[in-house]
Chain A
Amino acid sequence: MPDQLIYAMEVILNGLMAGVLYALVALGFVLIYKASGIFNYAQGVMALFAAMTLVGIMNGQVPFSHLINATFGTHIHYFGWNVPALFAILLTMAVMVLLAWAVQRFVMRHLVGQEPIILFMATIGLAYFLEGVADLMWGSEIKKLDVGLPQGINLWIDESTFNIFGYGFFIDNLDVVATVIAALLVAALVAFSQYTKQGRAMRAVADDHQAALSVGISLNFIWIMVWSVAGFVALVAGIMWGTKSGVQFSLSLIALKALPVLMLGGFTSIPGAIVGGLIIGVGEKLFEFAIGPLVGGATENWFAYVLALIFLVFRPQGLFGEKIIERV
């Protein structure tokens, strides 16, 4: 087999793995959009907030320590204990549920029945507010996140590909884990929204508020649930990205990478988010590999957006989005 083809295969595989991470972020968007018609700009920041909270809890950091020290002239920063990863994840999830409740209680509840653009603006506000709170709570330095996920080259893939092709593929263990987790997450989300009472209620609320009320569905409850689920997805994405590239404020920008994924996959489709993520992941890696050297590289920065633009022109509803039919 020609070397170029083998390299391309490795690139595709790596692209698929990167795509899974994009898909993880995109999933959070799709969930909230499907359930409440809100495009949640804050999804990326939620992932950041979740990751920072997780690190903070694990390291036994005192939340709002800067604020406390500045106010009372004290010098406390750490409780002096370390919390095991699994327990810290559970605690972080509890914080995300609390956040969901607060978002519903103090923001969304007052905006029932408003135009989608108003709700969108509210989530922009939420994004910056949350970023500020994250900074105030845990500080702004870059932190390392290690919840015990395997990292580094996957030797099994390396060896088996070496035996077949005479060339070992470099695949990061973390990417493999991310793929497995993403698959589990999607299966769980699909089962939840298709087969459970709460999932049905969620779809009903997304469709028509009045009708949902008339069959005995509590809008408040469903919305808190939806934001909690989005918080959970943000936590998973935050753990993955945080482990990969450190917990830092640029994490919130991964939300921007989710946008082209959503345009490709459609805002309303869970499988769309997955396939869209994979296409973008593979597309940009392959483009960089094949065309990059010819144009001086760094194509990964813009490839996804150009692809999204092309999709917007020819298929605005995305690959799997609901068809836009206008009656005249």
Chain B
Amino acid sequence: MMLDNSEGYVTDDGRKIGAVVMEMKNITLRFGGVVAIKDISFDIREGEIRAIIGPNGAGKSSMLNVISGFYVPQEGEVWFHGAKRPQMRPFEVAQQGIARTFQNIALFEGMSVLDNVMTGRLSFMKTNILQQALWKGKAEAEENENREAVEKIIDFLEIQHIRKTPVSRLPYGLKKRVELARALAAEPKLLLLDEPMAGMNVEEKEDMSRFILDVNDEFGTTIALIEHDMGVVMDLSDRVVVMDYGRKIGDGTPDEVRNNQEVIDAYLGVSHD
């Protein structure tokens, strides 16, 4: 791998990684007296699959929540597309082009798979309320356009057979995939995945890994994901941030991280004294 800080780099499998999309600068997040994230900095580059790993309670999810605006850090700055991001609420962050999934799945249980994925397109609907209600002219064309985009994603993630099924009836693994589909429907500039493989069996994990790689490959989507299963992450990601007890203890390619003594200690456990 060749590293060039300003222009990006080329991965071992020949993918071109671009400039920095998102940069976290000295983020500190506290809940009362508990420090969840302690002075962490890292960046995410265009087209990259970036992983944040660490043992349970390391602060990974907190970090993802900071990026997506659900948590507001006490210190530090978030830079997106070369500009410092002012304090934003989660829906504003989403409108900026950052889509996410949740560790515990947050879908609209009462709606069908298709409707769920369609909600991902809400910010693409520009016609006014009257046109939409009356189903006139532009509104129809717009709806069809969005529908097409959604169908493409549904095909891509191989969930055509459950398009009309209410989400509440789906098994866990498929729900995770629907959630990914909804996030993708927003055509995000940055896709955040919170433990996309948690609670899955081996086969489902393989499927999900394949989808994540395909999404990155096909749409060029920049992806940041959290996982505590080391094995999966190392195969998937281009660069890895390792967290432990709210601190960053490693950052680099999977190989670099794998050989980092502090990381090995965190995962295998050493006596802290």
Per-residue interface assignment for chain A, residues 203 to 232, with 1 indicating a CB less than 8 Å from any chain B CB and 0 otherwise: 110011011111111110000000000000
List chain A residues, Cβ under 8 A from B109.
207-208
B95 close to A (CB within 8 Å)? yes
Per-residue interface assignment for chain A, residues 177 to 212, with 1 indicating a CB less than 8 Å from any chain B CB and 0 otherwise: 000000000001001100111101101100110111
Main secondary structure of the interface of A (DSSP, over half): helix
Q: Are B90 and A192 in contact (CB under 8 A)?
A: no
Q: Are B91 and A192 in contact (CB under 8 A)?
A: no
Q: Which of B107, B118, B135 contacts A200 (CB 8 A)?
A: B118
List chain B residues, Cβ under 8 A from A212.
91, 108, 119
List chain A residues, Cβ under 8 A from B115.
200
B83 close to A (CB within 8 Å)? no
B133 close to A (CB within 8 Å)? yes
The smallest C-beta distance from B84 to any residue of chain A, in angstroms, reads: 21
List chain A residues, Cβ under 8 A from B95.
216
Q: Are A197 and B110 in contact (CB under 8 A)?
A: no
Q: Are B106 and A210 in contact (CB under 8 A)?
A: yes
Q: Are B129 and A198 in contact (CB under 8 A)?
A: yes
Q: Which of A188, A191, A203 contacts B111 (CB 8 A)?
A: A203
Q: Are A200 and B91 in contact (CB under 8 A)?
A: no
Q: Are B106 and A211 in contact (CB under 8 A)?
A: yes
B186 close to A (CB within 8 Å)? yes
Q: Are A213 and B90 in contact (CB under 8 A)?
A: yes
A158 close to B (CB within 8 Å)? no
A216 to B89 Cα, complex, angstroms: 10
Known: A188-B133, A195-B132, A200-B119. A211 touches B125 (CB 8 A): no
B87 close to A (CB within 8 Å)? no
Per-residue interface assignment for chain B, residues 100 to 128, with 1 indicating a CB less than 8 Å from any chain A CB and 0 otherwise: 11100011111100010011101101000
* Residues of A in contact with B (beta carbons under 8 Å apart): 188, 191-192, 195-198, 200-201, 203-204, 207-208, 210-219, 322
Nearest 5 interchain pairs by C-beta: A216-B94, A211-B106, A207-B108, A196-B132, A213-B90
